[in-house]
Structure 1
Amino acid sequence: MTKGLRVHSEIGALKRVCLHRPGEELLNLPPFELERLLFDDVPFLEVAQEEHDAFAQILRDQGVEVLYLEKLVAEAFDAVPGARDEFLDQYIAEAGIKGDCMRKVVREKLESITDNLEFVMKTMAGLTKAEIEIPLSAGSTLNALVNSESESDLIIDPMPNLYFTRDPFAVVGNGVCLNRMYSVTRNRETLYGKYIFKYHPDYKDVSLYFRRDAAFHTEGGDVLNINAKTLAVGISQRTQAAAIDVMAQNIFWNSDSEVERILAFNIPNNRAMMHLDTVFTQIDHDKFTIHPAIMGTLQVFELTPGKNSGDVNITELNDTLEHILANATGQDQVKLIPCGGGDPIAAAREQWNDGSNTLAVAPGKICVYARNTVTNDVLYKEGLELLVCPSAELSRGRGGPRCMSMPFEREDI
């Protein structure tokens, strides 16, 4: 396996990708906790796993090496004595556990798991009251006992959004943005990336362009590698403009980075367009899938390095989306293919199921959800090669093939 990261585009032939197979975290998803845990429905785990396995196999059939997030973290713990204990300290501190007594019991429960992969998967799944016994001893507090009888059956929340590996971190060129995510529910997911990029033998030396303890929030779905020189980032519900300022400083003045400009797209703040990759996704040298509601509504800024170290120039681009993307990609013109073929009902329905959130495996060859039949027909007629993934349960998490994948290596274009 090639060491390190290399992603300079959205469409170069995909060589290596990081996924997370849905696990028991989806079993710890009570219906009354859905809104807080950022889900709209409870997926059927067995079918979601079958669909995800089919997705992974589609990628392998295209020559892609599939890595799993949980295995990478376990390998990091295997490689470095003490890394697991360091992780556990931080995990418990961020888990929202009430009372010293409960934290002690949880620690003992997790420390009793000797296998590192099993341990990692348990931290992802969360912990319920049914799994542990609360001791009534001289050291118990009234607060701990009362809270143990509280309404929620969760001691530690699950991380049901983890199978969307695009968001906790974002590979940019040979480095990575380790994100501070928008919600407390999801920000704990970035712990896994921290320990991969700190301790894993193959990835511990990569440059970090953003850190999970930053003051502002950003997510990987807002980061698109147009080419080695140009990065697109969404100013969205999940990524603050101030976070892009930090990112620009760290990217422009890092010797490992080749990026010379960042295009910041100010997109509407709503659930249908929570990330830039739900607004548009590059699928070929000159083609993008887009959310039809975005046409003519975008404010775009170009960030470039100033003359002095640390300076960043910012220019507002007053032009059409087509012209901005054509300029960014170096094409004479680009084709924007609307989700749902432009039909408002089909577009709304299929955008809900991530019809424009596609994963390019190579230029013009894209992985799509089977359920978005109208959009898929339009893409097929535009000459794209479609790799169709079953999606009845995976789509309940409101994320498509791009959301479910974090490329670690692509061929240069």
Structure 2
Amino acid sequence: MTPPRVDSEVGPLRTVVLHRPGPELERLTPRNADRLLFDGIPWVERAQLEHDRFAATLERHGVRVLLLADLLRTALDDADARERGIADAVDERVLGRELGDGVRAQLTAMGPDDLAEVLIGGLTFRELGDGHSSLVRRMHGPDEFAVDPLPNLMFTRDSSIRVGDHVVAAAMGMPARRREAALVALAQRAHAQLGGVPHTDPRDPSPVEGGDVLLLAPGVLAVGVGERTSPAGAESFARAMFDAELAHTVLAVPITQRRATMHLDTVATMVDVDTLVVFPEVLDSLQAWTITPDGAGLAIAGPEPFRPAAAAAMGIEELRAVDTGPAGVAAEREQWDDGNNTLALAPGLVVAYERNTTTNGRLRDAGIEVVTIEGFELGSGRGGPRCLSCPWERAPAS
């Protein structure tokens, strides 16, 4: 059998990994939401309903949906995987050695289902078993976390990056998300099919997140550099891609470091083999540094305007852009609501949030078919359909 591959953003989608939001969202409060990177407190049951409808939409279009929590529960049947998951969750810098040992023992005694729930949903000091006498415990409130929850886990695009026949380990830029990549890798590697996919690690832990990586064409990658991915992370990622022969060109694209533009895919996503949807405020200002292998080093050119640089690397005459109309209040509102964060099901066929009526209308006017989903609660963590999905297999785009 041909190994599963992902060589573009728009090839017909065959298999995707999603995470259905669960108890981890119930941990969010006005007191901790900002630290955990949410702008509001989601209505959990509604978020789950919207996610179920999103998954059903994908399945109706012939996409096989794998749920991350199911993968994790299977992984935790393995003793080594359990040990790794627990080791990642117990932070002695926060808990101290003695309480850390107690928490480890409590997690080790759990079955796979309960352990998976804690690794995703966290553990409060109130929920610790008896017998843990500790200054750390006494000085924390009962509803503070001994193990942090992972409410951003539903944004599966960020924590692992599929390129070619490899999966690339992400290094998360924000403290609230740093455990996600290890947990996702643990779940993937224990799966009968997913576990056979080679893993590639960048050479250093400088942050690089999947939301900043666009597969423009086979061998051509764009990496946003901003709030979540550092210049060092982009360079390390490029070296890893060249060493594994997964890319011949990487474009490093600076983006404004602010909440509404945290990743490159919040301002631009591919909707066809030669077309992207883009926030009009950055349409003409996006720049790119072109990185190519040069023996044992790197050749770096630029900066130059992003679209011409991308078109040249992709071997096409022009990278077409669909914007959300004149820059202004309407475009800014749709940008905040993830209007430019679409998931391609096939060339010229994308999933988008229904609320972004202006963006969706302009896409349709440009010949792109748009399938809409609800995103009133799913979007409260600032992520659209692309953020919510990690493609595991796509057919060639042409």
Aligned residue number for residue 122 of structure 1: 118
Q: Which amino acid aligns with 2:260?
A: A
Corresponding residue SS for 2:276: strand
CA shift for structure 1 position 93: 3.2
- Cα 1:216–1:258 change in 2 (3 A) is closer
> What SS does structure 2 have at the residue aligned with 1:226?
strand
Match of 2:298 in 1: 312
The equivalent residue for 2:29 is: 30
**Partner letter of residue 277 of structure 1?**
D
1:350 paired residue number: 334
When structure 1 is superposed on structure 2, of 403-412 and 122-131 the one drifting more is: 122-131
Is 1:113 the equivalent of 2:113? no
Does the aligned pair in 2 maintain the 1:196–1:203 contact within 8 Å?
no
Structure 2 letter corresponding to 1:232: A
Q: CA deviation at 1:232?
A: 1.1
Q: Which moved more, 1:263-272 or 1:193-202?
A: 193-202
Paired residue for 2:223, among 202, 224, 233?
Answer: 233
Runs of 4+ in 1 over 6 A off after TM superposition: none
How many angstroms apart in 2 are the aligned matches of 1:81 and 1:218? 30
Looking at structure 2, the residues matched to 269 and 82 of structure 1 have their Cα atoms a distance apart, in angstroms, of 39
1:404 Cα deviation after fit = 0.3
Match of 1:337 in 2: 322
Distance in 1 (CA, whole Å) between partners of 2:303 and 2:88 is 42
Task: Say whether the 8 Å CA contact 2:254–2:286 is kept in structure 1.
Answer: yes
1:243 matched to 2:227 = no
Shift of 1:152: 5.0
How big is the shift at 1:405? 0.4
Residue 85 (1) aligns with residue 69 (2): no
Mapped contact 1:209–1:247 kept (Cα < 8 A): no
Q: 141, 144, 160: which is aligned to 2:151?
A: 160
For the residue of structure 1 that corresponds to 2:31, the secondary structure is helix
2:393 partner letter: E
Cα offset, 1:205, TM superposition:
4.2
Q: Distance in 2 between matches of 1:22 and 1:91?
A: 19
CA distance in 1, matches of 2:181, 2:4: 17
Taking structure 2 as the reference length, the TM-score comes to 0.93
Deviations along 1:366-409, whole A, 9 cap, x unmatched?
00001111211221222211111111111111100000001010
| Sequence identity percentage | 37
Q: Is contact 1:178–1:193 with CA below 8 Å preserved after alignment?
A: no
Any gaps of 5 or more consecutive residues in structure 1? none
TM-score normalised over the length of structure 1: 0.90
Q: Report what 1:147 is aligned to.
A: 139
Matches within 5 A, 1:214-229: 214-229=204-219
Aligned partner of 2:283: which letter?
A: M
Gaps of 5+ in 2: none
Structure 1 residue aligned with 2:72 = 73
Structure 2 equivalent of residue 16 of structure 1: 15
Equivalent residue of 1:348, what SS?
helix
1:283-326 CA-to-partner distances (Å, cap 9, x unmatched) read 012221101111332231111111x3x221111142x4332333
Q: What CA distance in whole angstroms lies between the structure 1 residues aligned with 2:144 and 2:91?
A: 19
Distance 2:226 2:87 in 1: 32
Give, in angstroms, the shift of residue 34 of structure 1.
1.2
Deviations 1:114-154 (A, max 9, x none): 1x244213210011233234437xxx34x145224x37533
The answer to whether residue 160 in structure 2 is matched with residue 169 in structure 1 is yes
Q: Which amino acid aligns with 1:125?
A: G
1:271 aligns with 2:259: yes
Secondary structure of the 1:386 match is: strand
The answer to whether the 8 Å contact 2:352/2:360 transfers is yes
Distance 2:363 2:146 in 1: 46
